[in-house]
């Protein structure tokens, strides 16, 4: 199943600028080369409410096992850009 990256980028636009940046950067620089299971996990993550995703990214809340590696990649990727 091919996902339109433009639509995916649109779904990354959240109510929090920090999440917009994290999620959009992941789509732009990692999503296309990610394995299919990681892409599916990311699409599922976008169904999660903003405060929950943000808490996962900050380490304030432990993500479910199926999202843990993805959250780690998203946050590690963003930290390497600093």
pLDDT one-digit tens code per residue, 40-56:
999 999 999 999 999 99
**pLDDT reported for residue 3:** 79
CB neighbour list of residue 62: distance below 8 Å, 6 or more residues apart: 56, 68
Main-chain dihedrals φ then ψ at residue 18, nearest 5 degrees: -60, -40
Report the CATH number at residue 17. Answer: 1.10.150.250
What is the number of structural domains in the chain?
1
Tell me: pLDDT of 31 over 80: yes
Residues 57-76 have pLDDT tens digits of 999 999 999 999 999 999 98
Q: Percent of the chain, pLDDT > 70?
A: 90
Alpha helices in 1-82, H assignment, sequence order: 5-11, 17-29, 36-45, 50-58, 65-80
Q: Which domain holds residue 12?
A: 5-80
- 17 pLDDT more than 60: yes
Instruction: Using a cut of 0.85, tell me whether the model's pTM lies above it.
Output: yes
């Amino acid at each position: 199943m091919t996902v339109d990256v433009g639509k995916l980028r649109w779904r990354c636009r959240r109510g929090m600028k920090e999440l917009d940046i994290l999620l959009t950067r992941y789509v732009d620089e990692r999503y296309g080369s990610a394995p299919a299971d990681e892409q599916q996990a990311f699409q599922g993550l976008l169904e999660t409410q903003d405060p929950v995703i943000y808490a996962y990214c900050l380490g304030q809340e432990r993500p479910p096992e199926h999202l843990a590696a993805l959250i780690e990649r998203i946050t590690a990727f963003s930290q390497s850009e600093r």
